[in-house]
Amino acid sequence: MSDSSEQCVPAAPAIVRLPFLQLILVGLQHVLLMYGGAIAVPLIIGQAAGLSREEIAFLINADLLVAGIATIVQSMGIGPMGIRMPVMMGASFAAVGSMVAMAGMPGIGMQGIFGATIAAGFFGMLIAPFMSKVVRFFPPLVTGTVITSIGLSLFPVAVNWAGGGSSTAQFGSPIYLTIAALVLGTILLIHRFMRGFWVNISVLIGMGLGYVLCGMIGMVDLSGMAQAPWLQVVTPLHFGMPQFHLAPILSMCLVVVIIFVESTGMFLALGKITGQEVSPRMLRRGLLCDAGASFFAGFLNTFTHSSFAQNIGLVQMTGVRCRSVTMVAGALLIVLSLLPKAAFLVASIPPAVLGGAAIAMFGMVAATGIKILQEADIGDRRNQLLVAVSIGMGLIPVVRPEFFAHLPLWMSPITHSGIAMATLSALLLNLLFNILGGTERAISSAEQAHQH
C-alpha cells in the first residue's frame, strides 16, 4: 500500500490531498468500473419504452449527470446529505423490473416513470431518519453475511463480462477468455511485484492493456461515434411534465425501501474497509443523499439512484480509501454527461476487459465479508445456520432469476435482488436467534460453562 493511501485510512472521512495525476487516474478507475452499470438502466428502460436512439443517448447522459452530482454530494457532504465516504452513485437496478412494467402500461410512459421516481425520492427523504436507526440490528454477524452476499451476487456479472458479454453469440470464446485472463493477470502481477502508486492504479493498467489489445485485433467498436455531438447539455423535464399515478408510486416507494436496505449494508462495508465507524447520523446522511438523488433524478430525466457495490471492491483492492478520489470520479461523470463522444469512447470498452478486473474486485467484496464474519461467534451452530441460509437466499435470484416469477409483481424489487434477499434473511434470523432468543441463549451458555 502506498504512503498516500496509508494517510487516507486514519483521515477518513477527511479529504486527503493526493498527487494530482494519481487522483485523476484512481478516479478514472472508479468511473470505468461502474460505467457499464450506470448506462445499463437507462438503456433497458429506454428500449422498453420504445424510445429512439437519440432519446436513449439523452437518457444515458442524464443518468451520468445525476450520478456525478450525487457522487460528489455523497462523498463531500453538502448540508444534511452525504455520508462523507468514498461512495460512487448510479441508477439502481432494484427499480428496473417495476419501471419496465410501467413502460408497458397504457397512459404511464416516461412521464409516469419520472413522476413515480420523484414521489419515491420524497418518500425516501421522509423515512431516512427512521431507517438510519437500524444500525444496531447490523452486528458483524449480519454485516459480514450481507457483504459476502453482495460479492457473490456480483460474480455472475463478472463472469458474463469475462465470457464476452451475456448477449454475444460467441460467449466463452478463447479470445474473450484470453483477454480477461490478461487483465486479471496484469492486476495480480502488479500487486505481487510493485508497490505504491502502481498498485493504486493496477486496475486501470490492466484494463488499459486489455483495451489496447482489443483495439489491435479489431474488437473495439466505434461505429456511430462520428455522429455523436461534441457537446450536449441535459435539460430538465425533457420528456414533459412528470405525471403521478398511485400504483407506480407505491411500487417505487417499495423500491426505495429496498435501496435503503442495500445501501445500509454497503455503507457498513465501506466503514469496515476505511476504518470508519458508521454512526446512525452518518447513515441518515447517506440515505438522505440516496433519496435526494432519486427526487432530483425525476426532474432531470433519469431514475432512482443508490450507491454502487462494484466500487467497494476497488476501494479494498487498491487501498486508496479517501473520498477525494470519488469526488474526482463524480466530476469525471459530469464531464462525460456533457461530452457524448467521450462517453461513447468509454462505452466502447469490451466486456471481456471489464470481466478480468471485475473477477478480482467482486471477489474482494466477498473476502471483506468473510473477514468481518471472523469478528462474530461463527463457531455457534445457529450463527452458522444464519450465514448458510442467508447466503443461500441471496443466491436464489442469481442462480434462477425466474424462481419467484409466480409471486405478485409488487414483490419483484425484493425477490429479484440477491442483496435484498440476503439482508432481510440475515436481519430476521438474527432477530429470531440472537435478539428474541437472547435470554434463552445466555442461560444455555451459562449451563454449558458450568458443565465444563
| Residue-wise pLDDT tens digits, 337-366 | 888 777 677 767 788 888 888 888 778 778
The rounded percent of the chain whose pLDDT value lies above 70 is 89
Q: Is the distance from CB of 341 to CB of 230 less than 8 angstroms?
A: yes
* pLDDT score recorded for residue 291: 93
4-18, 167-181, 371-385: range with lowest mean pLDDT? 4-18
- The arithmetic mean of pLDDT across residues 111-138, rounded, is 87
Q: Residue 15 pLDDT more than 60?
A: no
Instruction: Note the pTM of the prediction, 2 decimals.
Output: 0.74
194-198, 239-243, 250-254: range with lowest mean pLDDT? 194-198
199-213, 221-235, 259-273: range with lowest mean pLDDT? 221-235
* pLDDT score recorded for residue 97: 67
| Residue-wise pLDDT tens digits, 218-249 | 887 777 666 767 777 778 888 888 888 887 88
Structure-model confidence comparison of residues 260 and 229, the more confident one: 260
* pLDDT score recorded for residue 139: 84
Q: Label each residue of the chain as H, E or C.
A: CCHHHHHHHHHCCCCCCCCHHHHHHHHHHHHHHHHHHHHHHHHHHHHHCCCCHHHHHHHHHHHHHHHHHHHHHHHHCECCECCCCCCCEEECHHHHHHHHHHHCCCCCHHHHHHHHHHHHHHHHHHHHHHHHHHHHHCCHHHHHHHHHHHHHHHHHHHHHHHCCCCCCCCCCCHHHHHHHHHHHHHHHHHHHHCCCHHHHCHHHHHHHHHHHHHHHCCCCCCCCCCCCCCCCCCCCCCCCCCCCCHHHHHHHHHHHHHHHHHHHHHHHHHHHHHCCCCCHHHHHHHHHHHHHHHHHHHHCCCCCEEECCHHHHHHHHHCCCCCHHHHHHHHHHHHHHHCHHHHHHHHCCCHHHHHHHHHHHHHHHHHHHHHHHCCCCCCCHHHHHHHHHHHHHHHHHHHCCCCCCCCCHHHHHHHCCHHHHHHHHHHHHHHHHHHCCHHHHHHHHHHHHHHC
2-6, 89-93, 150-154, 279-283: range with lowest mean pLDDT? 2-6
**Residue extents of the structural domains in the chain:** 20-376
| Residue-wise pLDDT tens digits, 84-115 | 888 889 888 777 767 877 776 777 788 888 99
Please, how many CA atoms are within 13 Å of residue 29, restricted to the half-sphere of its CB?
Answer: 31
Q: What is the mean pLDDT of the chain?
A: 81
| Residue-wise pLDDT tens digits, 418-450 | 877 888 899 899 988 888 865 555 444 444 444
Opening angle at CA 139, ends 313 and 307, nearest 5:
35
Confidence of residue 17 (pLDDT cuts 50, 70, 90): low
Q: Residue 322 pLDDT more than 70?
A: yes
Structure-model confidence comparison of residues 415 and 80, the more confident one: 80
Q: Which residues pair with 305 in a beta bridge?
A: 91
